[in-house]
Chains A and B, each alone.
Chain A
Amino acid sequence: GNSVTQMEGPVTLSEEAFLTINCTYTATGYPSLFWYVQYPGEGLQLLLKATKADDKGSNKGFEATYRKETTSFHLEKGSVQVSDSAVYFCALMNYGGSQGNLIFGKGTKLSVKP
């Protein structure tokens, strides 16, 4: 079946540190991959996406590359800010017939200290 595994948090970094949040997936076929971000008290917002192998999604300084050979979609940012403190979810969507199920990882909480 389809599943997403992401590194457990919480992750605590100082401002301007480099961020990596690991995400690996298991899926049949060719899923699309997403990173969502949830700020405190809010719903999820799409951060970036990639729809095929070797695609790189990027937004707000965050990047992730769809690596089919390692079934990974790690999230990176070169210099984090306090405002990046949030919970980050890796997710996949597989398509086939009428399937419309978005599968999420368990989330990684990031805290950035000034």
Chain B
Amino acid sequence: EAQVTQNPRYLITVTGKKLTVTCSQNMNHEYMSWYRQDPGLGLRQIYYSMNVEVTDKGDVPEGYKVSRKEKRNFPLILESPSPNQTSLYFCASSKRDNQPQHFGDGTRLSIL
């Protein structure tokens, strides 16, 4: 089954403790992306990747890092999480950047 898998689905942690949210897709997609969803703000793109070793900033990259060492994986790294990063995060992928994106089920992060 074609899917985008994020882990964990839920996480409560404390300020400053590094965390990584993993994202994996099994569709051999070139394009992958991370979004955060906040009430009243909709979805905003954090980072995206056009292909392996090619990443670029979206609209709200501050406080986040990503890497794309393999085609299927696109982890989101919060080196020093802060409470304003409490949000619902979605990973997405598509065959190329101009194709509709497939979304994961989301990761709800709470930073205390």
Contacts and interface: CB of A to CB of B under 8 A. Distances in A.
Contacts of A100: 31, 33, 48, 50, 56, 97
Given A44-B90, A44-B103, A98 B42 contact: no
Interface residues of B, number: 27
Contacts of A107: 42-43
Given A95-B97, A98-B50, A100-B31, A45 B45 contact: no
Given A34-B100, A44-B90, A98-B56, A89 B42 contact: yes
Contact of A104 (B4, B43, B54, B106): B43
Interface residues of A, number: 24
A2 to B, nearest CB: 10
Interface in A5-40: 32, 34, 36
Contacts of A103: 45
A105 to B, nearest CB: 6
Nearest to A42: B105
A114 interface: no
A46 B2 CA distance: 14
Interface string A74-114: 00000000000000010101010011111111110000000
A61 interface: no
Main secondary structure of the interface of B (DSSP, over half): strand
Contacts of B56: 98, 100
B42 A105 contact: yes
Contacts of B98: 32, 93, 95
Interface of B: 4, 31, 33, 35, 40-45, 48, 50, 54, 56, 58-59, 90, 92, 97-98, 100-106
Given A93-B98, A102-B101, 19 more contacts: A32-B98, A36-B103, A42-B105, A43-B4, A44-B103, A46-B100, A93-B97, A98-B54, A98-B97, A100-B50, A100-B56, A101-B45, A101-B48, A101-B58, A102-B35, A104-B44, A106-B40, A106-B42, A107-B42
